[in-house]
Amino acid sequence: MESIIAYGIAILAAPLFPGFILKVKAFIAGKKGPPLLIKYYTLAKLLRKGSVYSTSTSCLFKMGPTVSLAAAVMALLFVPLAGVAPVFSFHGDVIAVFYVMGLGRFFTILAALDTASPFEGMGAAREAFFSMLAEASLFMVMMLFYRLNGALSFSGYFSGENPITMTGPNGSLLLLVIVSLFMILLTENSRVPVDDPMTHLELTMIHEVMILDHSGPDLALIEIGAFCKLLFYSIFITHLLIPAKSLDGFLYGMVFVAVVGAIYVAIGIIESIMARLKMNLVPKYILTSFALASFAAILTTMGLV
Amino acid sequence: METFFVALGLLLVGGIFPLLTSRFFRFMKTGYICATIAGCGFGLCAAAIPLRNPEILSVSWPWLHLFTLSFSLDSLSAIFLIPIFFICPLAALYSYHYMAKVQQSGRTAVSLFFFTVLIISMALVATAGNIITFALSWEIMSLSSFFLVMYEYQREATRQAGYLYFIFAQAGAMLIFAAFAVAYSHTGSFSFADFAGIPAQAKMIVFFLALIGFGSKAGIFPVHIWLPHAHPAAPSHISAVMSGVMIKMGIYGIIRMYSLLQVTDLVFGQSVLFFGMISGLLGIVYALSKRDLKKLLAYSSVENIGIILIGAGTGMIGVYSGNPVMAGFGFAGSLLHVLNHSLFKTLMFLGAGAVLQQTKSRHIDMMGGLIKRMPITGKSCVAGAVSISGLPPFNGFISEFMIYFAAFQGLGLPGPTSILMMLAIVSLALIGGLAVTCFTKVIGIAFLGEPRGEKAASASECGCTMTVPMVIMAASCLFIGIVPAPFINTVFLGLRDIHGIAAVSPDTIAGLAGNLALFSRLFLGIVVLSMILRRVCYINKEVAAGPTWGCGFTRPTVRMQYTGASYSMSVAEFFRPFVRMNSVYSGIKKIFPGTTTYETQVEDIAEISLSQGIVGPLLKVLGKLRWIQHGNIQLYFGYIILTIIVMLFFI
């Protein structure tokens, strides 16, 4: 029961955090910025509207938003939230969750190609390419975690005899992993330096250009999915940063939420101080995260750690 | 065993039927399909027997006073019989509307006959109990499929592809027979059961000869070259069965040899795993960069064979290291992937055939918008594409998950082996990501968007006998994904007769199956919920239709859409050392440029090295001996007499 409530809160709060990013960016740019609840207002606005569908599209175009939303919502079911056990968990759920997110991407790409727009095709090709590389990094991280505590599930990683945290015996290794995961977070959620959600030029977009033709409630569903996905990755990293069960119930929850918020702030800072990479450098960027993770994983096989 | 031979008898009767009735075109096809479905039904019943009871059925007859033909049906054979007897009748049904030209009724009859011969010989390969029986069935299988590929023999490309296939099939068979011969020289008997007793050194030779021989049938990189040529040349339901079922006989051979030789050394697992990784990665990279839809699917078969071998290799390493869970799940995952691949690859080939029939083109960049014109084909292919990419809640995910499960077990092994397992997992992850790219390309470019050619614009749904098999296969893909437990249990039963695999506790299997079932159903539930949510959001909303947003450009044409080549270019470039890309660009020269052309082609490095490294020099040397063939018949008689005289000295 506790898990379901925590899950519900997480879904409801998912649109809140991106507000932090906007605030931080505005602050650094010396502006006042939109209100913290801006994403809720946007969603409410979108949900009130109708939609225009391109005559080129078919039924798959309408499946894009629902499947990508379902995938992101599904992923959150399997992560422990602020010390509360996840709603579902089994040995191997990590693989399943990342594959489900792959399915969400599959349908987003199909919806983009369904519009017959060259721009959306371009975005789709980039998304497919970059996330393929990011997936390899994620599996490298999984293998490292498996070697560290033999678990293959989110709840197994962060509970049990030797949970994986920065403060544990393998903290130094995890530093590499955290950097690597943060880079994957930026990639998978289309943030700077891989993609710029604020850009206005379709040629340079990745995620935004794929959903150009979605409007109204369809767009709202996609946005909710994107918020959940970002929250999912942030929670994953947060668990690595703070030790589980170091504090009791409520206080732990507060610290947890604060760290999640801090990750969003970090994203905001990065977006303010960095420009996006040239498109041909992005694969190298993602491979850097892969290299970090595999370096850490190989260290464990040498028996050094 | 009687049921099995009744099934084969029925199939044979069905196969001869078209030869006698080829004048009555429809009657012939209907009779053929009914007999094939009945025969395969019996065949499935026969396959169920060894899975139900732990007994090995066997029968043998003396032949030519010298040899015995012996057949045995154990649970491993049964696992491979299931795709044969389930997929082939569906492909036969498909052929009713696919082979619709009355003028070609004679040729159709012959093709149907050879199709039956292929089904029977595959079933015999899977049940062969000694060297002689295996060799005979194997040759009949290769030859009948060669004749099936040659259906459109008037076309130059078909003949070339057919001969290429013939050479590869015979070269592969030669290696297999060599392996058998090595074993025979040690045992002195034709029986498979004696293989276990030969010395370790000989086992090594036998296994690796057989691995390459069977690999050339299965399509392991670099001996996969015939696949991308033979599959596009053959009629679609034939390429479907060849790719979905026949190449699995190569896998059967590898696993059977492993079991017969009772080898548990690390090197066997390592090399199978290595070939698996290479085939998987390069197969999907080439698939991604092909424009010919059937060629793309052929390369995707190479990829899936790679996944199957990764599973089998992981299982072998599990056997070596005495880890029953790793061994069991590795082999079981690979066997389940055999079943799954036979479903979704056949589905995709049948879909490609339907598209080919309607658009008269295999070129993916000439298609587009087909899902609106061919909704049933299109939606079935979407299901097939999701399954083949290994995504939940479809069946491909179940088998890939089992292989991952086994491979993660291997991470605990010491030093180099665990690094090998890491590589295996990373390749599986990369293969998964690349497969998503490849099959979003197939669906997105061929079925979605706007038609790129007139033929694609005027396409319409094909006949019901073509759509029904596709729908059945798509539904089976989803069914295995949602109710995986019986299938996982079945493949574990198939492991019973593989030597060296200790039983995995039923609780582990049931737990994993239950979790996967829960996961798939939960996800399906959430998708349905979010669809309902979407519906609710659209109550009383204004929904309009308009053109696609052209980002400010107001006169878009269908030619401006992303093409398959542009979609896959960046990924293909990423793998540049392995993928040779040739571009021809005419350039813009004058102020008012004329027509410009741009063409890219991706070449297979295995093919280039074969033609430049082996075939070229060989032709050069042999060309010098061409004077022997002068066409003068008297001198040919002279050769014969000379040979006989020389031979006499040796007697």
pLDDT tens digits for A129-155?
999 999 999 999 999 999 888 889 999
Q: Looking at the domain assignment, is residue A60 inside a domain?
A: yes
Does any domain span residue A92? Answer: yes
Q: What is the pLDDT of residue A266?
A: 96
Evaluate whether B264 touches B323 at the Cβ level (below 8 Å).
no
Q: What is the mean pLDDT of chain B?
A: 92
Contact (CB<8Å) A92/B415:
no
- Give the per-residue pLDDT at A204: 84
Q: Which of B37-41, B209-213, B451-455, B549-553 has the lowest mean pLDDT?
A: B549-553
CA-to-CA distance for B2 and B629, rounded, in angstroms? 52
User: pLDDT at residue B15 above 90?
Assistant: yes
Q: Which of B304, B241, B297, B298 is nearest to B90 (CA)?
A: B241
Contacts of B515 in chain A (CB under 8 A): 90-93
Q: What is the mean pLDDT of chain A?
A: 91
Mean pLDDT, range B330-356, rounded to an integer: 96
Chain centroid, CA B473 distance in Å: 15
Q: List CB contacts of B198: < 8 A, sequence separation 6 or more.
A: B183, B186, B187, B206, B261
Q: Report whether pLDDT(B395) > 70.
A: yes
Q: Is the pLDDT of residue B242 over 90?
A: yes
Q: How many helices (H) and strands (E) does chain A have?
A: 12, 1
Q: What is the pLDDT of residue A169?
A: 78
What CA–CA distance (Å, rounded) separates A217 from A204?
A: 25
Element (H, E) at B582: strand B579-585
A25-68 pLDDT, tens digit per residue, is 999 999 999 999 999 999 999 999 999 999 999 999 999 999 99
CA neighbor of A81 nearest in space, from A260, A298, A285: A260
Inter-chain CB proximity B433 and A150 less than 8 Å: no
Residue A84 phi/psi, 5° resolution? -95, 140
Q: What is the pLDDT of residue B582?
A: 85
Would an 8 Å CB–CB cutoff place A92 in contact with chain B? yes
Main-chain phi, psi angles of B604, to 5 degrees: -85, 125
Residue B166 has pLDDT above 90, yes or no: yes
Query: Does the bond joining A193 to the residue before it have cis omega, within 30 degrees of 0?
Result: yes
Cβ B390–A62 below 8 Å, yes or no? no
pLDDT in tens, B619-630: 999 999 888 888
Q: Please tell me which of the candidates A56, A110, A146 has its beta carbon nearest to residue B450.
A: A56
Report if residue A267 sits inside a domain. yes
> CA–CA separation, A217 vs A43, rounded Å?
8
Instruction: Calculate the alpha carbon distances from B512 to B399, B421, B436, B544 in Å.
Output: 12, 21, 25, 47
% of chain B residues with pLDDT over 90: 74
pLDDT beyond 90 at A248: no
How much is the pLDDT for B583?
85
A90, A96, A143: residue with CB nearest B411: A143
pLDDT for position B567: 92
A295 part of contact set with chain B, CB < 8 Å: no
Name the residue of chain B whose CA is nearest to A117's CA. B561
Q: Is the pLDDT score of B7 beyond 60?
A: yes
User: Is A142 contained in some domain?
Assistant: yes
- Candidates A74, A99, A101: best to mutate against B (most CBs of B within 10 A) is A99
Name which residue leads in pLDDT, B279 or B555. Answer: B279
Mean pLDDT check: name the lowest of A109-123, A187-201, B268-282, B388-402: A187-201
Quote the pLDDT of residue A245: 66
Structure confidence at residue A304 (pLDDT): 54
Our CA dihedral for A211, A214, A220, A223, rounded to 10 degrees, sits at: 0
pLDDT of A261? 96
Contacts of B450 in chain A (CB under 8 A): 56, 116
Residue A136 lies in a domain: yes
Q: Supply the pLDDT for residue B651.
A: 75
Residue A304 lies in a domain: no
Q: Which domain holds residue A139?
A: 2-298
pLDDT at A243 over 80: no
Which of the four pLDDT bands, split at 50, 70 and 90, describes residue B116? very high
**Which of A91, A94, A106 has the highest number of chain B CBs within 10 A, making it the mutation to test binding with B?**
A106
Q: Do B422 and A152 touch (CB under 8 A)?
A: no
Phi-psi group of B53: left, alpha or beta (phi > 0 → left; psi -120 to 50 → alpha; rest → beta): beta
Length of chain A in residues, anyone?
305
Q: Which residue has the higher pLDDT, A189 or B592?
A: A189
Percent of chain A with pLDDT over 70: 98
Residue B332: pLDDT above 60? yes
User: Closest chain B residue to A149 measured between Cα atoms?
Assistant: B412
pLDDT at A246: 65
Tabulate helix, strand, coil % of chain B (nearest 5): 75, 5, 20
Phi-psi region of B631 (alpha: psi -120 to 50; beta: other; left: phi over 0): left
Assembly ipTM: 0.95
Q: What is the pLDDT of residue A299?
A: 84
Going by pLDDT thresholds of 50, 70 and 90, the confidence category of residue B350 is: very high
User: A49, A114, A289: best mutation site toward chain B, by most B Cβ within 10 Å?
Assistant: A114
Using a CB-CB cut-off of 8 Å, the residues of chain B touching A71 are 523
Phi, psi of B73, deg, nearest 5: -120, 100
Tally of domains within chain A:
1
> Is the pLDDT at A182 greater than 80, yes or no?
yes
Contact A99 B391 (CB under 8 A): yes
Q: How far apart are CA A18 and CA A35, in angstroms?
A: 11
Query: Does some domain include residue A303?
Result: no
Q: With 60 as the cut, is the pLDDT of residue B195 above it?
A: yes
Asked whether residue A289 is assigned to any structural domain, the reply reads: yes
The arithmetic mean of pLDDT across residues B298-320, rounded, is 96
Q: What is the pLDDT of residues B552-572, one digit of tens each?
A: 887 878 888 899 988 998 898
Average pLDDT on A225-253 reads: 87
Instruction: Indicate yes or no: CB of B550 within 8 angstroms of CB of A117.
Output: yes
Collapsing DSSP states into helix, strand and coil, what is residue A81?
Answer: strand
CA-closest candidate to residue A68, choices A131, A121, A19: A131
Instruction: Answer whether A115 sits within 8 Å of B440, measured CB to CB.
Output: no
CB-defined contacts A:B, below 8 A = 252
Q: Which of B388, B378, B547 is nearest to B456 (CA)?
A: B378
pLDDT mean over B277-298: 94
Mean pLDDT of all residues in A229-256: 86
CB atoms B433 and A132 under 8 Å = yes
Residue B110 has pLDDT above 80, yes or no: yes
Q: To the nearest whole percent, how much of chain A has pLDDT over 90? A: 73
Mean pLDDT across B209-233: 94
CA distance A119 to A113: 9
Q: Is residue B236 pLDDT above 70, yes or no?
A: yes
pLDDT band of residue B596 (cuts 50, 70, 90) is confident
pLDDT for the residue B487: 95
Strands B543-546 and A51-54: parallel
Cα angle B528, B531, B536 (rounded to 5 degrees) comes to 130
* Cα atoms in the 13 Å half-sphere on the side-chain side of B451: 17
